[in-house]
Chain A
Amino acid sequence: MPQEKKFNLTIPVISLKNISWKAPGEGFKLHDISLTIPDNTYAVLMGSTGCGKTSLLEIVCGLRQPNQGQIFLDDRDVTLLEPRERRIGYVPQDLALFPGRRVKAQLSFALQMRGLSDETLIQQLAEDLRITHLLERLPEQLSGGEKQRVALARALAAQPRVLLLDEPLSALDESTREDAMTLLRTLQSKHALTVLHVTHSSSEANTLGQLRLRLDDGQIVSV
């Protein structure tokens, strides 16, 4: 039986109802997943390699369509909406910075797509993420930690309500990771974000997670 995780404290912001998904041509599946993440919560999702964590994030942000089930953002069913209509930020594991675009252009991308320009927001994000000195650099001129901060700033520039992070700290060394965890908590609090953070690391989960989830055999099995 699928388990539904509920917090009674606040209005739920993300709800997955009976989500199932099967990879084309593969046996790999997500089975009937139901899950609720309350507003302004830092949720951490753990699970073994290849258990479907990334696929679940991609379903939530709209890059994959589930075979079955619904995704609600607040009370709105967003299952059939395009990713751009969901206001869900996504930072993939490989960060996927836009090749050939300077950091400033990466940060301006979301605003540019809406035909807007907000220099103050970009400057503020650059200061928050400590990347002001990197604004004129290209992705290949950045270190792993710098790339990670740029990817976060780019996602935040779209002013999402929900942020999905796919193993964002996996490429960082121990000292940088501590720093990055503090930064993530600060950002989540400052921007009043609901975060779903995928990780293999128990220490990350313990440090960051207000809600800890585990995906096993295609199902959410424990908190």
Chain B
Amino acid sequence: MRTFWLSLALITAAYLLFWLLLLWATAAYSPPEVWLNTVMKPEIRYAAALSLLTCTAAAAIALLFAVPIGYFMARCQFRGKTLLDAALDIPIVLPPMVIGICLLIFFQTSIGRSIEQVISFTYTIAGVVLAQFVVAAAFAIRTMRGTFDHLSARPEEVALTLGATRFQSFWHVALPTARRGMLAAFCIAWARSLGEFGPILVFAGATRMRTEVLPTTVWLELSVGNLDSAVTVSLAMILIAVIVLVAVRATGEKV
């Protein structure tokens, strides 16, 4: 029995050690002066600022969709629910490049062109947000659905007997109770948006000082052989990812 658990512990330790070695190798690749020089570059600072802005926008929009959809899926019983549930997970399993191509093709259709007459998405900052949102929303929806699944519907039902409408019950009882889940969903959507690369590259492009976000920077720097800058940006993204992970864990949710 003891040998069994010890073997499993060794496998876990080996896996963690592998990850720690990866991080250590990345962190030790270039000295701190190089990090500072990289961070001071205007294009890197632009990419970082754009990443923060677009990730926040994408996560906020994702939450606006995730809360009602998550509540609907958790509380409403209807025929075809399993099918809809699977459909909502499609962006999670689709290859990222495919999502980018789907977006690009959609905005070549008559509906897409009509939308672009109001707001332009292809190869714009709005396109970066949209590409991030498409994937991030699926993760946010899954988180919100889990949150509402774990909350008893009983207080919401009692609220109905106390004079509340369905909306008031949702707004005054369900939402305040789900605030930790909402924070977790926002953080997860934000982190997914930060790491998004494929759809952005295909749909919004990788134009410096325009639609360049941090993952694009890593790719652009690698493509011109500037490994130091690529490593520095990667380290910054690792740091942000760890902060988000800690924040999500603090809400009691899991990524």
A residues touching B (Cβ–Cβ < 8 Å)?
24, 58, 61-63, 82-84, 86, 88-90, 92, 94, 96-101, 109-110, 112-114, 154-155, 157-158
On chain A, the residues within 8 Å of B164 by CB distance are 84, 109, 113
Q: Which of B77, B152, B155, B168 contacts A113 (CB 8 A)?
A: B168
A-B interface, 10 closest residue pairs, ranked by CB to CB distance from nearest: A96-B154, A113-B163, A110-B162, A83-B160, A90-B161, A96-B155, A96-B158, A83-B161, A84-B163, A113-B164
Q: Whose C-beta in chain A lies nearest to the C-beta of B162?
A: A110
16 contacts between A and B (CB under 8 A): A61-B161, A62-B160, A84-B163, A89-B161, A96-B157, A96-B158, A97-B155, A98-B155, A98-B172, A98-B173, A99-B176, A99-B177, A109-B164, A154-B162, A155-B162, A158-B162
On chain B, the residues within 8 Å of A97 by CB distance are 155
Cα–Cα, bound, A113→B168 (Å)? 8
Q: A92-B154, A96-B155, A99-B155 are in contact. Are A158 and B77 (CB under 8 A)?
A: no
Q: A24-B77, A92-B154, A94-B154 are in contact. Are A84 and B160 (CB under 8 A)?
A: yes
On chain B, the residues within 8 Å of A83 by CB distance are 157, 160-161
Q: Whose C-beta in chain B lies nearest to the C-beta of A63?
A: B157
B126 touches A (CB below 8 Å) = no
Interface size class of B (residues with CB under 8 A): 10 to 19
Q: Mark B9-40, 1 if CB is under 8 A from A, else 0.
A: 00000000000000000000000000000000
On chain B, the residues within 8 Å of A109 by CB distance are 159, 162, 164, 172
Cα–Cα, bound, A67→B152 (Å)? 25
On chain B, the residues within 8 Å of A84 by CB distance are 160-165
On chain B, the residues within 8 Å of A110 by CB distance are 162-163
Cα–Cα, bound, A18→B95 (Å)? 57
Q: Whose C-beta in chain A lies nearest to the C-beta of B151?
A: A99
